[in-house]
Amino acid sequence: MRQEKANQSSPNFSGNTLTILYDNIRWEEKALYEAAKKKGVSVETIDCKNLVLDLNNGKSKYSGQVVLQRSVSYFKNVHSTAALEGLGAHVINSLHAAILCGNKMYAHMELEKAGVRTPKAVAAFSEESALAALEEFGYPVVIKPTVGSWGRLIALLRDKEVARAVIEDREHMFPLYQVYYFEEFVERPPRDIRAIVVGDKAVAAIYRYSGEGEWKTNMALGGHAEACPVTKELEDICLKATRALGGKIVGVDLMESKGDGLMVHEVNNTTEFKNTVRATGVDIPALMVDYALGQGK
């Protein structure tokens, strides 16, 4: 994928054009670029680290442009999206969706309001209140940073002693990690589901199985993926969750609770889909490009 620096003096694009904004070139960004080129789309790729925007430019080249926002960093993502939308770009996903999807507590509250089944959760804002909350909430429990990805800083707290040690460590971290967000440990099979939503359709889904000795289902931890059928129930809950958070192209992560059935535990704003393509054969990059171009018309 050819990298380009953003240049505010460039002429406006016209016709079949697309901008891909990223801060880390993954398989997904390469696949999106190749899918766009195969369709004859004029595609510009921009590393967010090179992005410079005149926030007072009423004639920005981004006015009217469709931008696929693929920046992994939550803070780069929401700030660049805010700037681009302010300059008249059509960003997928929007600032509203990026803010909500990128923060687990924000997302939980919106999903709850929309009636989407989610794991039970509790929040606290100090070491003392967090430990007190857990005494009532019960163990085991999962602690998650409200902002984060790839399973980083997520821990399973099996008892008070482990909880105290983890929370004491977080008291010395960045203030963000002193917002304590806990979810119930859901009794489920050793897998979860990743469904990819594009517009008004769940286009594909996979089971993500935990690696040996792991309770997390992250592929980077030795797990593996298999195709998952997109049932009406699965699609309905995915679309309900997507709409609750204002998303257009997202990955919805679900668990199969033994007691409560399908429940959503995360909606990903810049979702990875490499394993979904490999397991299902669905051309997700092409579907994403088609949808994005359709939004720009």
- Same domain flag for 130 and 221: no
- Same domain flag for 150 and 224: no
Please state whether the peptide bond connecting residue 189 to the residue before it is cis, i.e. omega within 30 degrees of 0.
no
What tokens appear for 105 in the block?
Answer: 């507590």
What tokens appear for 205 in the block?
Answer: 């889904």
Residue 287 belongs to a domain with what CATH number? 3.30.470.20
3-class secondary structure, 208: strand
Look at the pTM and tell me if it is higher than 0.85.
Answer: yes
Domain for residue 213, yes or no? yes
Straight-line distance from the first to the last Cα atom of the chain, in angstroms, rounded to the nearest whole number:
25
Residue-level pLDDT, tens digit, the chain, 297 residues: 655 444 433 334 334 899 999 999 999 999 999 999 999 999 999 999 999 999 998 788 999 999 999 999 999 999 999 999 999 999 999 999 999 999 999 999 999 999 999 999 999 999 999 999 999 999 999 999 999 876 788 999 999 999 999 999 998 888 888 899 999 999 888 899 999 999 999 999 999 997 666 656 665 556 789 999 999 999 999 999 999 999 999 999 999 999 899 999 999 999 999 999 999 999 999 999 999 999 866
Domain for residue 7, yes or no? no
Alpha carbons 57 and 61: distance in angstroms, whole number: 9
- Same domain flag for 51 and 143: no
Domain for residue 5, yes or no? no
What tokens appear for 251 in the block?
Answer: 């990955």
3-class secondary structure, 276: helix
Q: Supply the pLDDT for residue 174.
A: 80
Domain for residue 115, yes or no? no
Q: Are 216 and 291 in contact (CB under 8 A)?
A: no
Q: Supply the pLDDT for residue 276.
A: 97
| Length of the chain (residues) | 297
Residue 79 belongs to a domain with what CATH number? 3.40.50.20
- Same domain flag for 78 and 132: no
Q: Supply the pLDDT for residue 173.
A: 85
Question: By residue range, what is the domain housing residue 69?
Answer: 17-100
The single residue listed with the structure tokens 């660049």 is 80
Q: Supply the pLDDT for residue 120.
A: 96
Indicate the pairing of strand 249-257 with strand 261-268: antiparallel
- Same domain flag for 67 and 135: no
- Same domain flag for 246 and 266: yes
Q: Are 188 and 256 in contact (CB under 8 A)?
A: yes
Under DSSP, the state recorded for 11 is P
**Which of 32, 67, 100 finishes a domain?**
100
- Same domain flag for 225 and 193: yes
Q: Supply the pLDDT for residue 8.
A: 37
Domain for residue 197, yes or no? yes
Alpha carbons 89 and 61: distance in angstroms, whole number: 9
Q: Residue 63 contacts by C-beta under 8 Å, 6 or more apart in sequence?
A: 12, 87, 88, 89
Domain for residue 11, yes or no? no
Domain for residue 9, yes or no? no
| Number of structural domains the chain divides into | 3
Which long-range contacts (C-beta less than 8 Å, at least 24 apart) are formed by 159-163? 160/131, 160/134, 160/135, 163/130, 163/131, 163/134, 163/139
- Same domain flag for 169 and 201: no
What tokens appear for 296 in the block?
Answer: 């720009």
Q: Supply the pLDDT for residue 15.
A: 45
Q: Supply the pLDDT for residue 214.
A: 65
Domain for residue 12, yes or no? no
Q: Supply the pLDDT for residue 2.
A: 52
Residue 179 belongs to a domain with what CATH number? 3.30.1490.20
**Which of 48, 67, 100 finishes a domain?**
100
- Same domain flag for 179 and 200: no
**Which of 184, 216, 231 finishes a domain?**
184
- Same domain flag for 268 and 207: yes
- Same domain flag for 131 and 205: no
- Same domain flag for 195 and 148: no
Please report the DSSP string for 152-199 in residue order.
TT-EEE-SHHHHHHHHHHHTTS-GGGGSEEEEE-----SEEEEEEEET
Q: Supply the pLDDT for residue 220.
A: 54
Rg value, the chain, Cα: 20
E-only strand ranges, 228-280:
249-257, 261-268
Q: Are 267 and 240 in contact (CB under 8 A)?
A: no
